[in-house]
Amino acid sequence: MNAPEMSFAPAAVTAGEREIVMNRVYGFPREQVFRAWTDPQQIAHWWGPDGFTNTISEMDVRPGGSWRFVMQGPDGTDYPNRIVYLEVEPPSLLRYAHGGDPGGEDFTPDFHVTVVFEALGAHTRLTATLVFDSAEACAEVQRFGALEGGRQTFERLAQFLARTAETGELR
């Protein structure tokens, strides 16, 4: 199977006082893009900025379910993460709380995310909106490179989708 035309623009990433919005159009059906975002075998291949890898210990994509994973940075630093799903409407919507993972049941989210998978014929517009409790919290993640990290993550998803279209793996 040939990969779809990949002449789509890179992700647009903007920041407001308390939110970061990322969006991009992918040349793949939304069911395929949704699966790439919710299947632990797929998301482990592309999640995070360039050079990061992921170890997933749990991914239960349902309201109240958790996704626990450790992102390993290029320098070897581990970043434990936990996502708690608030709303799941396949293949169009995910809402979740995202934060660090101290282990155990204690969890305080750092921000909330809404991901919309909009069908555009055989293509998908993906929009992720991250909302922070304060302008200070939003500015803090920006100081650590969240905008560029978001662009890179969306680009890694595009590359992953193109590879799987070419090879037929993990679809």
Structural domain boundaries in the chain: 12-165
What mean pLDDT do residues 15-40 have?
Answer: 97
Q: What is the pLDDT of residues 120-154, one digit of tens each?
A: 999 999 999 999 999 999 999 999 999 999 999 99
Residue 3 has pLDDT above 70, yes or no: no
Mean pLDDT across the chain, nearest whole number? 93
How far CA 6 is from CA of 28, 46, 142, 170, in Å, comes to: 10, 17, 28, 19
**pLDDT for 170:** 59
Residue 40 has pLDDT above 50, yes or no: yes
Distance CA 5, CA 13 (A): 22
How far CA 155 is from CA of 11, 23, 81, 111, 134, in Å, comes to: 7, 11, 21, 22, 28
What mean pLDDT do residues 89-117 have?
Answer: 95
Residue 4 has pLDDT above 60, yes or no: no
Distance CA 161, CA 136 (A): 35
Q: Which two tokens stand for residue 98?
A: 């995202």
Distance CA 47, CA 42 (A): 9
**pLDDT for 39:** 97
**Choice among 10-14, 51-55, 101-105, 157-161 with the minimum mean pLDDT:** 101-105
Residue 171 has pLDDT above 90, yes or no: no
**pLDDT for 8:** 75
Fold that domain 12-165 belongs to in CATH: Alpha-D-Glucose-1,6-Bisphosphate; Chain A, domain 4 (3.30.530)
Q: Which two tokens stand for residue 90?
A: 């396949």
22 touches 157 (CB < 8 A):
no
